[in-house]
Amino acid sequence: MFLFRRGTGRLTPDQARSRTDDGTAVLLDVRETPEWKAGHAPGAVHLPLTRLLAGAALPPDAQGRPVVAVCRSGHRSQQAAKLLASRGVDAVDVTGGMNAWAKAGLPVVDERGQGGRIA
């Protein structure tokens, strides 16, 4: 049973947090490493879109699970969700990306687990 429409669904930040906090899906941050280090959602796994486009496999924590892709503004994550769907992954993305996530008051941490910022 698929929880999302493959590669075509978009979730609000609150919906994404709900589906990832309860273990239904994994949050996959597709921003580049400096962006990730500056600030990301707690519990997210990281795989830059550039590596995904080059054929990289999903991180072990995301394999075999529904994926909610997120980037800074929603463009790269939408591209990632479509690519993952073409590979058979149950994937959607977060509308507005991490900018919308932070604006919704959801937590953001840096590479040390401290208060992060969206870069």
pLDDT at position 8 is 56
Active-site residue list = 71
In the structure encoding, which two tokens stand for residue 90, read together? 């149950």
Instruction: Say if CB 94 and CB 69 are below 8 A apart.
Output: yes
Instruction: Say if CB 106 and CB 25 are below 8 A apart.
Output: no
Total-model pTM: 0.92
pLDDT at position 2 is 43
How would you write the pLDDT of the chain (119 residues) with one tens digit per residue? 344 444 458 999 999 999 999 988 999 999 999 999 999 999 999 999 999 999 999 999 999 999 999 999 999 999 999 999 999 999 999 999 999 999 999 999 999 999 999 99
